Copies of this chain bind each other. A is one copy, B any other.
Amino acid sequence: MSNAACYALSDWGTSRFRLWLVDCNGHVLAEKRSDDGLDTSRARGFTETLEGHLSALGAPADLPVIICGMAGSRQGWVEANYVPVPADLKAILSGAVRIEGIARDVRIIPGLSQSGSSPNVMRGEETQLLGAILDRTLSNGIIAMPGTHSKWVTLEEGRAKSFSTYLTGELYALLASQSILRHSVGDAATSASPDHPQFEAAVELMLSGKRMLGELFGIRAAMLLDNLSPEGAASRLSGLLIGAEIAGAKAKSGSRVTLVASGAMAALYGKALHIADLDFDLVDADEAVRKGLFVAASSIWPAKG
């Protein structure tokens, strides 16, 4: 029976939905990706959306489902309250909320919150965090999870002690497509390269203590005065933002970093961490979220193993 589906795992965010059927060892048997984010799913019904995707993958009616992401927010399916830091990882696992009123056993993993002078929240990344920690058997150090809202978590003796959020990905998208810099970046927003001299120079500038806010317009000026190319503009913008993020995070700690990222993001952050002289290990972001979901499922439904 090792090839039978044991759990369904879902990362259900604001703008996308991902579903995997896995066996009892966590191996992926089937996968589905769609644009059924929160708004679409709310309109159609969360149960209907999930059951539709499960049925497309041929999942049995009694297969349990574990979900992470914004589906557990106030605007989502059912609110899974935040677990406050410092947080034991067991607290995240035991905080999963069961959806009531439906036959199938479906549970949503809670997010993490930080109160006090630096209020902060995460939802979805706690599952990546769980996966990365268990994958590398980490107890201490820094876990960086770049993205729309990059999260940097300080881990101490196996507990998530505190975390920060950098608006890097969201600001990059806004600046490249909606600001005066759109004239310089053009269609090259996805062409930022870690090997472009503009990327390196921008990361170094941010690490030297300069303020990003005072360097952004220089991209426009360099296009007007020095014919900076769209790829150069995208690489410089990326370097300024990622450089500012890493300069801010580095100031808080010099520990070894575990970078949870995939593809182009992994390459850009890897290069910037190298420039910042920070040692790091790379964990694939997709694998981390699946591993986190699988560990949560195994902990909730151990008999299934």
Whether B179 contacts A174 by the Cβ 8 Å rule is yes
Please name all residues of chain B whose beta carbon is closer than 8 Å to the beta carbon of A248 when the two chains form the complex.
210-211, 213-214
User: Does A149 have its Cβ within 8 Å of any Cβ on chain B?
Assistant: yes
A222's partner among B119, B241, B244 (CB-CB below 8 A) is B119
A221's partner among B119, B170, B218, B245 (CB-CB below 8 A) is B119
User: Does A115 have its Cβ within 8 Å of any Cβ on chain B?
Assistant: yes
Instruction: Name the interface residues of A226-246: CB closer than 8 Å to any CB of B.
Output: 226, 241, 244-245
How many copies of the shown chain assemble into the complex?
2
Q: How far is the CB of A14 from chain B (nearest CB, A)?
A: 9
Interface size, chain A (Cβ < 8 Å)? 42
User: Does A216 have its Cβ within 8 Å of any Cβ on chain B?
Assistant: yes
Q: How far is the CB of A257 from chain B (nearest CB, A)?
A: 15
Stretch at the interface among A2-10, A127-135, A160-168, A269-277: A160-168
Please name all residues of chain B whose beta carbon is closer than 8 Å to the beta carbon of A118 when the two chains form the complex.
218
Whether B180 contacts A170 by the Cβ 8 Å rule is yes
Q: In the docked arrangement, what's the CA distance between A305 and B116, Å?
A: 65
Please name all residues of chain B whose beta carbon is closer than 8 Å to the beta carbon of A211 when the two chains form the complex.
166, 212, 244-245, 247-248, 251
> CB-nearest residue of chain B relative to A181?
B167
Please name all residues of chain B whose beta carbon is closer than 8 Å to the beta carbon of A167 when the two chains form the complex.
179-180, 213, 216-217
User: Does A224 have its Cβ within 8 Å of any Cβ on chain B?
Assistant: yes
Residue among A120, A175, A244, A247 with the highest chain B CB neighbour number at 10 A: A120
A46-66 vs B, CB cutoff 8 Å, 1 = contact: the mask equals 000000000000000000000
Closest 6 CB pairs of A and B: A211-B248, A165-B217, A119-B221, A214-B248, A167-B216, A119-B222
> Using a CB–CB distance below 8 Å, which chain A residues touch chain B?
113-115, 118-121, 149, 164-168, 170-171, 174-175, 178-180, 209-214, 216-218, 220-222, 224-226, 241, 244-245, 247-249, 251
13 further A-B contacts with Cβ under 8 Å, apart from A118-B218, A171-B179, A174-B178, are A113-B224, A113-B225, A115-B225, A119-B222, A120-B217, A121-B224, A165-B214, A167-B180, A170-B179, A171-B216, A211-B248, A212-B212, A213-B248
